A and B are shown apart, each in its own frame.
Chain A
Amino acid sequence: MFEQVLFYAFSGLVLFAAVMVITVKNPVHAALCLVLAFFSSSGLWLLLEAEFLAITLVLVYVGAVMVLFLFVVMMLDINIAELREGFASYVPVAVLVAVVMLALLSTIVGHVNFGVDSIQGVVPHASDYSNTKALGMSMYTDFIWPFEIASVILLVAIVAAITLTLRKSRQTKSANPSNQVAVESSDRVRLVKVPSEPQE
């Protein structure tokens, strides 16, 4: 009973936030709605007894990814009127893309795979069951290759992104810390002994 109330509350919040993400005008508000959507879906995952995934969703997406998103979106100077220009001419293409995506999604998220009959409810585990441990065991034994390959791909992406941004230009000013630390007073200050004028 209580779980059902929670489920409908969180599901409603996810749907509401997701609709708000694509309808609100202000991009910062949209990003914050996305945060709410992530947060409520982590609540749904908690109801599925997947506490590791739920908390990691909050930790990674809400705590880090969306902060960087907001960081960028807040700095951008987005002109809404400019974005709205030529909306009418794009409508046919947009409708086509939407229909194709809807058709593709419905083949997967239809009643065949996600119907009430095809999904069993969550089997409650004993209180000493650790979702984190179970996930770690299957990830590092059964699925070690996909896991390693995915992490190598991510590593390549990180290296590529860093290489793209590491450009020396005349505009960037950076201090070399080892030079700063190595500075001695004799490099900066020269003490000159000036004899005083003899008194007349």
Chain B
Amino acid sequence: MPESILTITIIVIKILAIMLPLMAAVAYTTLIERKVIGYMQLRVGPNRVGPKGLLQPIADALKLMCKEFIIPTGSSRFLFLLAPVLALGPALAAWAVIPFGSEMVLADINAGLLYVLALTSLGVYGIIIAGWASNSKYAFLGAMRSAAQIVSYEIAMGFSLVGVLVAAGSLNLGDIIEAQRGSLGILNWFWLPLLPLFFIYFISGVAETNRAPFDVSEGESEIVAGFHVEYAGMAFALFFLAEYANMILISALTAVLFMGGWLSPFSWVPDGIHWFFAKTGLFLFLFLWFRATFPRYRYDQIMRLGWKIFLPITIVWVMVVAAMVVWKIPPWFSS
């Protein structure tokens, strides 16, 4: 019995070692987002709370915690309260299988890639339950838009993951990174042989997280704030946390699947966890850049992009990858 208690304690410590930095990262991503978009629009961004505005996320969190929590009349009370939890839960649970370094992973499971795909597809429940339980037409419209969009982009996302799976020959995220190791460094990573899948995966990831330019489920100018229009205080903060945690998750996954995770880009530079963080940060910056640059997509154009453009490209490229693997095209698939 003491051994099992020890095991459980170690696992809990590992979970905390992932969760606490992740929460801090989420809080500071909101600040970075406001700063980056501010400078892109020739503004300064928040600079009053603390030195250079560095305490702004803490002030925001305090403000949200002090706010009154309102449950609208006619709403489905239990589901209304459950929805934010369902939004945040999968976004955090998926971090269990992300490899930070060669041995640094919480759960080294065989079907890691499938697990991640299944969990990212669960995030939609928080949104549609929130939209329905609010008993509000704007929230409901946002939820319906989001449900259709996420289901559509999940298919393109799944097919690009099939490409990664064929190329790596494993569902284990650690093995996928090892399969990208080679003497050419950055050229050995999967982004090059899987270039279309790489672009499609990241764009679908932006659509899955409901970020601009695919943020029709929020659509401030059309449906106020979409699915979370009725939420206030901490429940609203949970949706916010979920969105940012999902952004960081998609960035980390893109880094792991296509950019070699913790591998270093040059063969003479040692590998390490800092490379993983640098790559994740790069993709996170792209999220913010997209938001500052692109206007929101029209709804029918989103559907067309997902079904008629991304899906055929991914299917064709999966076959191309399979052919490359079968004929052992160097330098990626020579072994």
Contacts and interface: CB of A to CB of B under 8 A. Distances in A.
Interface of A: 28-29, 32, 35, 51-52, 55-56, 58-59, 62-64, 67-68, 70-71, 74-75, 130-132, 174-175, 177
Contacts of B111: 51-52, 55, 131-132
Given A32-B79, A56-B114, A132-B110, A63 B147 contact: no
Interface stretch (B52-60, B121-129, B286-294): B121-129
Nearest to A65: B151
B154 A63 contact: yes
Contact of B121 (A59, A71, A74, A175): A59
B304 A131 contact: no
B118 A175 contact: no
Contact of A74 (B124, B132, B148, B171): B132
Contacts, number: 67
B144 interface: yes
A70 B128 contact: yes
Main secondary structure of the interface of A (DSSP, over half): helix
Contact of B110 (A68, A131, A177): A131
Interface of B: 79, 109-111, 114-115, 117-118, 121-122, 124-125, 128-129, 132, 140, 143-144, 147-148, 150-151, 154, 171, 300-301, 304
- Quick one: which of A58, A63, A131 has the most chain B CB within 10 A? A63
Contact of B115 (A32, A55, A130): A55
A71 B129 contact: no
Contacts of A56: 114, 118
Given A32-B79, A59-B118, A67-B150, 6 more contacts: A62-B122, A63-B124, A64-B154, A67-B147, A131-B110, A131-B111
B110 A74 contact: no
A32 B132 CA distance: 12
15 contacts: A51-B110, A52-B114, A55-B114, A55-B115, A62-B121, A68-B147, A68-B151, A70-B132, A74-B132, A74-B143, A130-B110, A131-B110, A131-B111, A132-B114, A132-B171
A70 B147 contact: yes
A28 B301 CA distance: 29
A29 B78 CA distance: 11
Contacts of A174: 300
B151 to A, nearest CB: 6
Given A58-B118, A64-B151, A75 B300 contact: no
Contacts of B125: 35, 67
B109 A51 contact: yes
Nearest to B300: A175
Given A32-B79, A177-B304, A71 B128 contact: yes
Nearest to B309: A177
B128 A67 contact: yes
B167 to A, nearest CB: 16
B145 to A, nearest CB: 11
A82 to B, nearest CB: 21
